[in-house]
Amino acid sequence: MNYDTLLVFVMASAALAISPGPDNIFVLTQSISNGVKSGLATVAGLVSGCLVHTTLLAFGISEIIKRSDSLFFGIKLFGAAYLIYLAIMVYRSGSAISLDQKVNPAKGLSKLFWKGFTMNVLNPKVTIFFLAFFPGFLFSNELSTVTQFYVLGLLFMLSAFVVFSTIAFLAGSISSYLLKYPNTGIYLKWLQIVVFIGIAIYLFLSDK
């Protein structure tokens, strides 16, 4: 079992969770508008949705990886290319982080959970990202591919939960900081670009 691979995966997952995106911005605005509990309910829904994508990936891709070296290499190339594409999209996008508190009316915690869950599950970009991200981080010759995908999925969920929950608890301080230092968005934008490119290179160089 390659623990270094798992460590790199956790670090990359945490860096991606920190980088500004629709999920963590939604958590931030819900927490600012409706309180920490609303933010945490949203976090729980978003993170739970990742389990669906992990299951689709584990049972849809594991046999391909097991039976064909050439197809696995193709998946790695797709993953690296897709992450480079995401880096280019981030580069072309603006760096401002919008915190519109007026569009987030208070809802019941269960409704916020299911909103976060459906936001994640019904987003095909998450499935594509998991397909691009996970296969290059398989870490064991002993464990089945399905088991490894679930371990990676749970680690990804844990990383996202820790980061998103921290955002929910510190929402007030984070929003005040972003308003005071608007250039922070530029640094977070370049962090996201570097992470995407770094993961793409890692995936391309990784072995089966």
- φ, ψ for residue 3, nearest 5 deg: -75, -25
- φ, ψ for residue 19, nearest 5 deg: -60, 140
Per-residue pLDDT 10s for the chain (208 aa) are 788 889 999 999 998 898 878 888 889 888 888 889 999 999 999 999 999 999 988 887 766 766 777 777 787 888 889 889 988 988 888 766 666 655 455 578 899 999 999 999 988 888 888 888 898 898 888 898 899 999 999 999 999 999 999 999 998 888 788 778 878 778 888 888 888 898 888 887 776 5
Cβ neighbours for 29, distance < 8 A, ≥ 6 positions apart: 99, 100, 101, 103, 104
Is residue 26 a contact partner of residue 113, using CB atoms and an 8 Å limit?
no
Cβ neighbours for 26, distance < 8 A, ≥ 6 positions apart: 42, 46, 116, 119
Which tokens go with 21?
A: 């995106």
For the chain, give every domain's residue range.
3-95+106-205
pTM of the model: 0.85
